[in-house]
Chain A
Amino acid sequence: MRRVGYWLESLEHIGALITRPLRWFVLIMVLTTVAVVVLRYALETGAIFLQESVMYLHGLFFMLALAFGIAQDTHVRVDILYNRMSSKRRNQVNLIGHCVFLLPMAALIFLASLPYVSASWRVLEGSAEVGGIPAVFLLKSLLPVTALLLWLQGLASSAALVRQLIDTDT
């Protein structure tokens, strides 16, 4: 049982692995946006491809970081009561929340996005703009991927919380 728990907890490393390169995306977004501005105002040429690449970077940047935010506990809480709880009570809140809210939410986004994404894959949906990036089907695939990451993170965090709760009881 414990071994399964540790294995589940180790799923958390996926998030850390992804975000190590991911955090630099914001810097690339800044540089690319400046390039778009220079092209548009100085050289008076549009740069749809560059402009859309900022959108792709942006989408990857926050979607793939959602699960990591749970691991790092950087998502906002209403902390009026939470701050006064014992660490055991907090673990209980988080464990119940993961099971009742997080896992169903991730499952719903995953299941609901499958038909949406597969319709896009079937026609290899491209950009609505001329000269845009022809990979909207890949961008849409972010939805099930994010949902899967959230689900795995939910399992990993829950396993860690169960272990901590058992350890504090014994």
Chain B
Amino acid sequence: MLELIPLLLFIVTFGMLLTGYPVAITLAGVALIFAGVGIVTGTFNANDLGFVPGRLFGVITNQTLIAVPLFVFMGLLLEKTKIAESLLSNLSDLLGHFRGGLAIIVVLVGMLMAASTGIVGATVVTMGMMSLPIMLQRNYDPSLATGTIAATGTLGQIIPPSIALVLLGDVLSNAYQQAQLNMGIFAPKSVSVGDLFAGALLPGLLLVLLYLLYLVVRSFTTPDAMPQRPKTTTISLRSTLGALLPPLALMVVVLGSIIAGYATPTEAAGVGAMGALLLALIYRKLDVETLRETCTASMSTTAMVFFILIGASIFSLVFRGFGGDEIVQELFTNMPGGVWGALAIVMLVIFLLGFILDFIEITFVVVPIVGPVLMAMGVDPVWLGVLIAVNLQTSFLTPPFGFALFYLRGVAPDSVATAAIYKGVIPFIALQLVLLALLLLWPALATWLPSVLYG
């Protein structure tokens, strides 16, 4: 009976989340009610709650997570100063007269944007508002247009340097330490955010390549779905490069310095944010009002992320206090199929959770519970991280509950049928499943680059 309490805690929490009360507070609140009942009935040790302040202070002093507000600021500044938007319109002037050119540009710009913000909702909404009107106006098939935008918006999970990967990297690193300590290894190897960035880079680029291939194939098989635009104005290559190179250079510098090991994620995020500020200054798009808006929005977003982290750490403290991690461990080791069976169950649960929870919540709630057990069974931490990222990305795109679809529906005009959006994303879901299969067949796809870089 007692071993059912952690399960019950999980079920009640997710039931309460469905009421729509803020996630962070619900996680902590339900856990505390369980702890209270547990203390009264003698099934929970009240001293466990004494660890709460230490945990929370650990959140404040976590050096890696300082990168979060800096990355958020960088992404929001690029969005609010409309630098990303002008990038899109410049490029579409240059390539718009090729068949499918506009769709390809949307994927490429979306990839850059996703990498800089890493928040699914923000990317999908911005891309939807920026590019959907242009695509529809040029008579693109609505289904193809919305599918491309929704799929591109979810790239933020997997293309570094996204916030999602910073958070996941930090959680994986803690889980990896714990897995090794549990196994009696007291000089544990570590896995860093840089490792995860390097691990996600090839799968991420491969996925973008698959998207582009699909679009090129469609441009031959169904040319009517992506009409060409007659070449009217001649645009100088120079002005386009002028618009394109600076933001691209910014991404390369930020990502490169982290992966090459020159800078910590926090330092790179700070320099990247400075770079975004300079870009905005050069393009004369920076004024006090924009800056104030960016700072205010950064504050809200950062508080939102960290509140979930706080709520989730109270939740997992109580979950552990009821012996939840031992139950998970027992469940996994008795799973038919061993590691693969356990991995399959975790992936399925994460996929389903992706229907109601965002990346951040799942990273903070689920990974600390299942991560150490899986890693103790021999699963590579970087590979696990990339699998989780691709899995969630697919979940966010899957009708009818996918997050990205809701956000896109919110900004798409009524003339675009919801069924058209669903139809449009299906090929992209298939491509992501292809990537997931490739990762399962060849884990080296994720683990090769970090091993070469860091030995």
Binding site for B on A (CB under 8 A): 19, 22-27, 29-34, 36-37, 40-41, 54-55, 58-59, 61-63, 65-66, 68-70, 72, 74-83, 85, 90, 93-94, 96-97, 100-102, 104-105, 108-109, 112-113, 115-117, 139-140, 142-143
Contact = CB atoms under 8 A, between A and B. Distances in A.
Size range of the chain B interface in the assembly = 35 or more
B295 A27 contact: yes
B343 interface: no
A123 B447 CA distance: 46
Contacts of B57: 116, 139-140, 143
Contacts of A104: 29, 32-33, 36
A162 to B, nearest CB: 17
23 contacts: A23-B292, A23-B298, A26-B72, A26-B302, A29-B66, A29-B270, A30-B274, A30-B277, A40-B267, A58-B66, A65-B300, A66-B306, A69-B307, A70-B22, A74-B303, A75-B307, A76-B24, A80-B356, A90-B20, A97-B22, A105-B311, A108-B52, A139-B60
Contacts of B262: 41
Contact of B23 (A76, A93, A116): A76
B63 A55 contact: yes
A58 B69 contact: yes
A143 B278 CA distance: 36
A30 B60 contact: no
Interface of B: 17-26, 28-30, 32-33, 36, 49-50, 52-54, 56-57, 60-61, 63, 66, 69-70, 72-73, 262-263, 266-267, 269-271, 273-274, 277, 291-292, 295-296, 298-308, 310-311, 314, 356-358, 360-361, 401
Given A112-B53, A116-B54, A34 B270 contact: yes
A140 B17 CA distance: 30
A65 B299 contact: yes
A105 B263 contact: no
Contacts of A97: 19, 21-22, 25-26, 29
Contacts of B23: 75-78
Contact of A27 (B33, B291, B401): B291
A38 to B, nearest CB: 9
Main secondary structure, interface of A, reads helix
Nearest to A37: B267
A41 B56 CA distance: 32
A36 B304 contact: no
Contacts of A81: 18-20
A61 B20 CA distance: 26
B455 to A, nearest CB: 23
A69 to B, nearest CB: 4
A42 to B, nearest CB: 12
Nearest to B308: A76
Given A33-B70, A69-B303, A139-B60, A101 B270 contact: no
Contacts of B21: 77, 93-94, 96-97, 101
Contacts of B302: 26, 61-62, 65
Contacts of A102: 25, 29
A102 B330 CA distance: 33
9 A-B pairs closest in CB distance: A101-B29, A82-B20, A33-B270, A97-B21, A65-B303, A116-B53, A75-B22, A74-B300, A113-B53
A13 B420 CA distance: 46
A76, A77, A80, A143 interface centre (most CB from chain B within 10 Å)? A76
A55 B277 contact: no
Contacts of B307: 62, 66, 69, 75
Contacts of A30: 70, 73, 270, 273-274, 277
